[in-house]
Amino acid sequence: MVRLAKDDKLLVPGQATQYVYVILSGRLRVQLADTDAPALAMYGEGDSIGEISILSDRHNASFVIAATDCELLAIELSSVWTLLEESHQAALNLLRILSQRLEINDQITSESLEQHNGYQGFDMVDSVTGLYNQHWIHKELGRYLKRCLVDNRFSCMVMLEIDGHREYVEKYGVLGGDQALRTFAHTIISCQRPEDQAGHYAGSKFIVFLPYTTAIESACIAAERLRLAISAAPIVLP
């Protein structure tokens, strides 16, 4: 078991690892620098880090930092190989995860070149909610949809909006409104599956992308579960 406090570093560029880490609680962010650089990706409960090391002894290319207090399960690579040899489904799941990690590695390479040439990449994470922002939604959602088309599998997207948010801001101020957005976002994170992707689109509007959710009934069940959880979530004012 590995415990990290907020802003602790799990991995740094050039570091080799002999473990795959499974997030039991909290969130990790991936970024190019260890200061206030924009996050390239965020990972939460049920996600894993370090799978690339299963196939290669290549050193880590980015910082992996605790976005919140975290508890991680560290699994030795030898144990992972034993599991892959014994389970076809585990091997398929690993291939899916690796494809996502390779996309992030491509993004790291692209943004490194931009920085080398004097350009600044767009921040992909909303500073208030910690979810992906509108830029990420516009840029990355198309990739997810194309992948679903290639795989010939349907997906669904849930769009949500906070009722009465403007009135809430008028009553409790901007800080109260931001706290409501954070509560909304954290509730979404607590309800979503590891493969789901959530984003803060604008104002009080959010989206949740449900990859490979083939039945509209399943999406409606997920949406209703979200609605009930959000309705029951208390907003603790600052």
Q: What is the dihedral of CA 40, 8, 99, 23, to 10 degrees?
A: -130
Provide the pairing of β-strand 28-31 with 2-4.
Answer: unpaired
Give the DSSP letter string of 111-130. Answer: HHHHHHTT--PPP-B-TTTS
Question: Got the DSSP string for 140-158?
Answer: HHHHHHHHHHHHT---EEE
Residue 80, beta-bridge partner list: none
Return the pLDDT at 101. 54
**pLDDT of the residue at 4:** 93
Location of each CATH 2.60.120.10 domain in the chain: 2-116
How far is 61 from 184, CA to CA, in rounded Å?
A: 33
- State how far the alpha carbon of 7 is from the alpha carbons of 87, 134, 173, in Å: 35, 25, 29
CA dihedral of residues 111, 116, 119, 125 (deg, nearest 10): 30
Residue 78 has which token pair?
Answer: 């030898």
pLDDT at 37: 64
* 3 beta partners: 71
Q: Which CATH architecture has domain 2-116?
A: Sandwich (2.60)
Distance linking the first and last C-alpha atoms of the chain = 33
Q: Report pLDDT for 228.
A: 93
* The amino acid at 224: E
**What local confidence, expressed as pLDDT, does residue 113 receive?**
47
Q: CATH 3.30.70.270 in the chain: give the residue spans.
A: 134-232
Class of domain 134-232: alpha beta
Is the separation of the CB atoms in 11 and 61 below 8 Å? no
**Per-block mean pLDDT, blocks of 10 residues, the chain (238 long):** 90 80 86 68 77 61 86 82 69 58 52 48 75 83 70 81 90 90 90 84 89 83 91 83
* CA distance to 7, 14, 16, 129, 144, per residue, from 50 (Å): 18, 13, 10, 26, 22
Quick one: which of 73, 68, 48 has its CA closest to 7? 68
- Give Cβ neighbours of residue 163 (< 8 Å, ≥ 6 apart): none
Q: How many angstroms separate the CA atoms of 114 and 111, rounded?
A: 5
The Cα–Cα gap between 69 and 5 comes to 4
Closest CA to 201 of 161, 164, 235: 161
| Backbone phi, psi, residue 77, to 5° | -60, -35
